[in-house]
Amino acid sequence: MVAEVLVVGGGVSGLACARALAAAGRSVRILDRARGVGGRCATHRLLDMPFDMGVGFLHGQDEGFLSEVRASTERRIEGWPRRVEGSGRPCQPEAFRSGEKRIALADGVRTFPKHLAQGLEVRTAARVERLVLAAGGAGVILEGGEEVRARHLVFALAADQALRLLEGTPDLPRPLAAVRALLDTSSSEPSLAVCAAYPEGTAPPPWDAWYPEGSHVLQYLGNESSKRQPASFVGLVLQAHPGWSRQHLDDPAWPEALLAEAARVAGEWAGHPVAHHAHRWRFARSDLASELAGPILVRLPSGGSVGFCGDRFAPGGGVEAAWVSGRELGRRLAAPEVS
Ligand SMILES: Cc1cc2nc3c(=O)[nH]c(=O)nc-3n(C[C@H](O)[C@H](O)[C@H](O)COP(=O)(O)OP(=O)(O)OC[C@H]3O[C@@H](n4cnc5c(N)ncnc54)[C@H](O)[C@@H]3O)c2cc1C
């Protein structure tokens, strides 16, 4: 059966959009290239402990967003990080503005998107390669050549990923060519990240999060074990500054360089984990200077529509913006005049 709405991207924005549509009785299907949902709300298990290797904690002020986060689990730590060291620039400075609520999830931040995905039709391992336009709607071509169609299509992706898909489509109608030009006005920041597990007996650090001011390499050290209840060993997530990450994206030695910098900044012990896992985020955060006020929905000349949501499509960026923009786009698409 052809779904009314096809959402490309099962991160927080795509899931929030699909939930709003499903709540309004619309049929909706989600495609994601990964093995599970969540996108950059990502938790990796290392030696059986969850490590948040993308966003480390959730934060925001929107009441709807906060109550959805709280509904996702009772195992949460309100106010985390409480013990914050260093005066370096956080990845998302809004996290520490007044009135902002901060919440860590004891079983990992991916608990939130997994909660949002409940009851939704999600197809994973489905990488979209390009958009196709046809009379009465739109569709996508998946890796391997399969075509999936719908009346309405939503791109819930990092803005650069949405741009790449539009660039791969020849002869875009004018409204979509205009969106392509708009998306081309910014670029996302990369982030190189390492999850590190330390030997039994390592003393837990006296901070939850550290933003070192004296490093051009390390932006954030997150004390993962202080979120886990209980934690059997000390675990850190190390995230590099966007500028350093950009320079070292294709350097195979970057994980060792990040660990060496952790040893310099936090002490020798931090450079010698018993196990580690490295992850390269090409598009970690959208460039805050170019955020948009809301999601975009364009009608196609041939019928149907194409929408765009994600962390660039609401003020403030980050997970809250992804959720807010997704919900807003879902509500617009569910309106009776968009059929
Ligand atoms: C290291 C790091 C630190 C961060 N720190 C913070 C922070 O402190 N505070 C904060 O609020 N936010 C932070 N963020 C950003 C936050 O995680 C994102 O803004 C948010 O999760 C974006 O959600 P989204 O749904 O817009 O996009 P995503 O989560 O990227 O979801 C997009 C989905 O689309 C899928 N996809 C991509 N291309 C295709 C394709 N071609 N076909 C099919 N599927 C595709 C992906 O697999 C993914 O699941 C951080 C991110 C990273 C990586």
In a domain, 215, yes or no: yes
Mutate to test the pocket of ligand 1, among 157, 186, 188 (most ligand atoms within 8 A of CB): 157
> Who lines ligand 1 at CB under 6 A?
8-14, 31-34, 39-41, 54-55, 91-92, 95, 127-128, 156-158, 161, 191, 193, 239, 281, 284-285, 310-311, 318-320, 322
My answer on whether 270 and 309 are in the same domain is: no
Give the model's pLDDT for residue 302.
82
**Mean pLDDT value across residues 123-128:** 98
Mean pLDDT of 25-49: 97
Q: Is the dihedral of CA 204, 47, 276, 237 positive or negative?
A: negative
- Write down the pLDDT at residue 1: 58
Q: What is the tens place of the pLDDT at every residue in 258-300?
A: 999 999 999 999 999 999 999 999 999 988 778 899 999 999 9
Count structural domains, the chain. Answer: 2
Task: Report the side by side order of strands in the sheet with 128-134.
Answer: 128-134, 137-142, 147-150
CA–CA separation, 263 vs 260, rounded Å? 5
Both 146 and 176 in one domain: the answer is yes
Same domain, 131 and 270: no
Whose C-alpha lies nearest to ligand 1, atom 49?
Answer: 39
pLDDT confidence band for 91 (50 / 70 / 90): confident
What pTM was computed for the model? Answer: 0.97
User: Within a domain: residue 303?
Assistant: yes
Q: 132 and 89: one domain?
A: no
Question: What residues make up the domain containing 310?
Answer: 5-38+115-186+289-334
Distances, alpha carbon 248 to alpha carbons 3, 79, 138, 287, in Å: 42, 33, 38, 19
Residue 327 located in a structural domain: yes
What amino acid is encoded at 75 in this protein? Answer: R
Amino acid 259: pLDDT: 98
CA of 165 to the centre of ligand 1 (A): 16
pLDDT for 177: 95
Residue 66 lies in a domain: no
CA distance 170 to 182: 17
* The domain boundary residue, chosen from 247, 267, 285: 285
* CB 91 within 8 Å of CB 114: no
Mean pLDDT within 29-47: 98
- Tell me how far the alpha carbon of residue 54 lies from the centroid of ligand 1, in angstroms: 8
The closest of 79, 78, 155, 71 to 113, measured between CA atoms, is 71
**Residue 31 and residue 97 in one domain:** no
Atom of ligand 1 nearest to the CA of 38: 49
Model confidence over 46-57: pLDDT tens digits?
Answer: 999 999 999 999
Ligand 1, residue 39: give the atom nearest the CA.
49
270 and 195 share one domain: yes
Segment 178-192, tens digit of pLDDT: 999 999 998 789 999
Instruction: For residues 223 and 252, state if they share a domain.
Output: yes
